Chain A
Amino acid sequence: MADLNTDAASQAAGIDLSQFFQIFFEEAGENLARLEQLLLQIDIAAASDDELNAIFRCAHSVKGGAATFGFADVAELTHEMETLLDKLRRHELAPDTAMVDVLLQAGDALRAQLARHQQAEGDPVDTTGLLVAIRALVAGTPGAANHAAPAPAIPLPAAQPAEPSVARLLDLRVGPLADPADADNLVDLFNEIVDLGTIEPIDGGTPIDGMRRFKVLTTSTDSDLLDLFTFHVSREQVQLLPFGPGYGFHTGNPGVPPTLPVDSGYGFFDNAPGAPTAAVAAPTADATPIATPPPPTARALPKAAAAIESATLRVSVEKVDQLINMVGELVITQAMLAQHSQGLDPALYQQLAGGLAELNRNTRDLQESVMSIRMMPMSLVFNRFPRMLRDLAAKLGKQVNFVTVGDATELDKGLVEKITDPLTHLVRNSCDHGIELPAERVAKGKPEAGTITLSASHQGGSIVIEVRDDGKGLSRDRLLRKARELGLPAPDSMPDADVWALIFAPGFSTATEVTDVSGRGVGMDVVKRNITALGGSVEIDSAESCGLRVSVRLPLTLAIMDAMSVGVADEVYILPLSSVVESLQVHADLIKTLGGSGRVVEVRDEFMPVVDLEQVFRVPRRTALAGGAIMVVVEAEGGRIALLVDELIGQQQVVVKNLEANYRRVSDVSGATILGDGRVALILDVASLVRRSRH
């Protein structure tokens, strides 16, 4: 069977459909994501009708679009899924784990198929196994390779191609309806479809026991009709029966003669003849004809999608990045203007000064707005984990609960992409090495299912992401032993924090590895390196047999930040304003020595280490004048230090440039920026300076 009929579909529609492909791919992608999410959330024992219907609609939407555009392979697979989902939501089958697994796999296959069509390359996805499995589940005989037997309520087999066949006369019963007028919606909808057939009430327009009855002449299949009708009513409320004398199906229904005098007072049809003749429908409402023969699935999509579309706008990431770059350059230019205009006489150049101040404000506002475009909620990162953990836990025979905290915390899009791999590795580690097998946990008095918690929160100018598990934690002894094996210094007196940090050493992977760990040859050392490359830091805390906590700290935005520039001899250094606590003038007697080498200063009853930037960065000093006239108190990672500088130059916004793009990581330096005069200034890594003072 050809998997692509896009040309034929375009021809049938009369227009070139390829211009709509991109929208279809995007919406299908969203539907598949939602499908997966719903499948993961579903409670097998108590699946609600709403959930099942929602899952059905996702598959249905994808099928409709795929059929319209001629992606026959996608349409085929979604059609089978739909059959199964239909049975589930009609409670003809009970959901079980096998079904959810197959549906999840089918979702994966669909994604692969769509990706292949979107990129127009790659081998066709072989779905024969999946199709067989789904049909077997539908038939209620897992493992049997039979085509699904139709359910008794539907006279025709479900998987019938929607080809125009012989016109059939059907008895349509709708109800019991809370509001019988709902049935009128069905009729309207039916009539909107060209060539679907005719429909007319045979109950005189009045419900009997809440049931409405219509006579339908159509060439469409029952399943297509049911698809149509279930937009307005639930599946249980629709019955399609062959029209004819002697029904005998339902007791309590009044026997209806084959023909009914049509009263023009019904008002359903303005010009429809009473007697059904040829299968020609006169549409009463304006309706855009939809490409034959698939049912009007696109109808429901726009209704729901329109509501969402009006609130959001799809923009390509490149455009946003370009915009941010331009705003960055604007910030630099504005800083340069501000710098050059400092020397002007304010009285003389009053308007210019005013204009520049206004420009400053506008630039700042613009920059804030633009930066927020790239901020995305952490839920985008967290969303991939439920599925991954489910599969992994099942494979390892463990039970894992997954909890997320702070889904709405926002993070720059660039960071979202880069943090996903390290976090995935950490979560897999927790599941694989941390959480114990259920029996082991029960023996320890823990609940059978382990819990992995992912949390994200803003702290100061950073975002802190934690991966916590209540597994067995790290074993101090094993780590020390392994370190000694590798020839690393590992004295017994090593503090816990340092022992835990040993796992970041290259080559420190544990012996019992799952064969497909994170897929990218990743070890904890690469995780750490990736995080530090983003300007972040990672810390580990562990309690043996209680659990493990890995904290990742990342700067909120990479591109532009508020900064304070300080002068040390002839050089300019930049401090992130968010880490500056205060600055004070230095008196020689304020600084005391400690243990002969370290220097401390007392600031407001707090003693903190003094870090002489001239020393740290070996700044050459040409004049004999003693430096270190000013102290800037900075704070990072819970510690405070006082930096000795010569002068405070100013406060401005700087564009953060990456030093490592062309060079390498430099100690105590987190990046570089370009000053108003075009020179490069180094941005200090305050956290690193704080750590250095601790050693």
Chain B
Amino acid sequence: MNMISDASHVAAHEAARARTQAGGEFLTFRLGAEEYGIDILRVQEIRSYEAPTRIANAPPFLKGVVNLRGVIVPIVDLRLKLSVGEARYDANTVVIILNILKRVVGIVVDSVSDVIMLAPGAIKPAPEFGATLKTEYITGLATVGEELLILVDIERLMSSRDMALVDEAQGSPLHRGDSVGSGA
């Protein structure tokens, strides 16, 4: 790690620490053996899993799109994206529909647990890992009973570049009509 990425890590960490000062209400859900929590205000609804319409050349964690009362919503399997647990699709599989930056997206999780209130002091900053889940997205850790709860900034995570949900500015002028995908 060089100086620049070191500095950006520290900056992100400081920013995360600043965010964790506030408490709040969180929806908790399970991915594999881990328990995660996200800001309840971002949650629109919870649905059972239905097979989405596949979109060619999309990343493997993007299962496709579904019809949500007339609106086309992309579905991301967080278990695949974060490489946590195994991606099973059964009667218990749940999709959390989120409202992120004026877009509606869905995330597939193993199960939904509860809505909990956390006092500001209950949230501790997360230590640095070199894990798949970059710590920029983790706003903090909390203990609920015996469980460790990982609080995630779901808005940042879903709008990040590698999630590939948001269209980016076009690059080479030679690919006139195409934007996404390397093209078959």
| A interface list, Cβ under 8 A from B | 329, 483, 488-489, 498, 501-506, 508, 525, 528-529, 532, 537, 571, 615-619, 657-667, 669, 672, 674, 678-682, 685, 687-688, 691-692
Contacts and interface: CB of A to CB of B under 8 A. Distances in A.
A661 B173 contact: no
Contacts of A529: 169-170
A108 B14 CA distance: 51
B183 interface: yes
Given A502-B173, A682-B55, A665 B167 contact: yes
Contact of B65 (A489, A532, A667, A672): A672
Contacts of A681: 53
A657 B105 contact: no
B127 interface: no
B116 interface: no
B166 A667 contact: no
Contact of A667 (B52, B73, B165, B180): B180
Contacts of B173: 483, 488, 498, 501-505, 508
Nearest to B167: A664
Interface string B67-80: 10011111000000
Contact of B179 (A503, A537, A664, A687): A664
B172 A488 contact: yes
The 6 closest A-B pairs by CB, nearest first: A505-B173, A617-B56, A664-B167, A680-B53, A663-B74, A662-B103
Given A667-B181, A678-B67, A687-B177, A618 B170 contact: no
Interface string B19-58: 0000000000000000000000000000000001111111
B141 interface: no
Contact of A525 (B52, B56, B58, B170): B170
8 contacts: A501-B174, A504-B170, A506-B171, A617-B56, A618-B57, A659-B65, A664-B167, A666-B180
A139 B65 CA distance: 70
B164 interface: yes
Contact of B67 (A616, A660, A679): A679
Contact of B181 (A657, A666, A672): A666
Nearest to A669: B55
A680 B167 contact: no
A275 to B, nearest CB: 78
B128 interface: no
A506 B184 CA distance: 25
A377 B172 CA distance: 36
Contacts of B171: 506
Given A666-B180, A669-B55, 9 more contacts: A489-B172, A489-B174, A504-B173, A505-B172, A532-B179, A618-B57, A659-B65, A680-B64, A682-B55
Contacts of B86: none
B177 A663 contact: no
B41 to A, nearest CB: 18
Interface residues of B, number: 37
Is the contact region of chain B dominated by helix, strand, or loop, or is it mixed?
loop
B33 to A, nearest CB: 30
A682 B103 contact: no
Contacts of B164: 664
B103 A657 contact: no
Contacts of B179: 532, 664-665, 667
Contacts of B55: 663, 666, 669, 682
B183 A662 contact: no
Contact of B178 (A674, A682, A688): A688
B66 interface: yes
Contacts of A618: 56-57, 184
A165 B158 CA distance: 74
Given A672-B65, A680-B66, A662 B53 contact: no
B165 A663 contact: yes
Most chain A CB atoms below 10 A, which of B165, B169, B172, B173: B173
Contacts of A692: 178, 183
Contacts of B184: 615-618
B63 to A, nearest CB: 12
B104 interface: yes
Contact of B104 (A488, A660, A662): A662
A662 B72 CA distance: 7
A664 B181 CA distance: 11
A688 B172 CA distance: 17
Contacts of B104: 662
Contact of A672 (B53, B176, B177): B53
B183 A667 contact: yes
A506 B67 contact: no
A657 B74 CA distance: 13
A571 B56 CA distance: 11
A577 B167 CA distance: 28
Contacts of B103: 661-662
Contacts of A504: 170, 173, 176
Contacts of A691: 176-177
B105 A329 contact: no
Contacts of B176: 501, 504, 537, 691
Contact of A532 (B52, B67, B174, B177): B177
B160 to A, nearest CB: 14
Interface string B96-117: 0000000111000000000000
B79 to A, nearest CB: 20
Nearest to B168: A664
Contacts of A502: 173
B105 to A, nearest CB: 6
Interface in B141-183: 164-167, 169-174, 176-181, 183
Contacts of A571: 53-54
A571 B58 CA distance: 16
A657 B172 CA distance: 28
A506 B54 CA distance: 31
Nearest to A532: B177
A657 B72 contact: yes
A674 B165 contact: no
B172 A680 contact: no
Given A506-B169, A680-B65, A665 B183 contact: no
Contacts of A508: 173
Contacts of A665: 167, 179-180
Contacts of B71: 657, 661-662
Nearest to A508: B173
B104 to A, nearest CB: 5
A505 B167 CA distance: 16
Contacts of B52: 680
A680 B72 CA distance: 8
A660 B55 CA distance: 13
Contacts of B66: 680
B134 to A, nearest CB: 22
A688 B72 CA distance: 21
Contacts of A619: 54, 56
A498 B57 contact: no
Contacts of A657: 70-72
A195 to B, nearest CB: 59
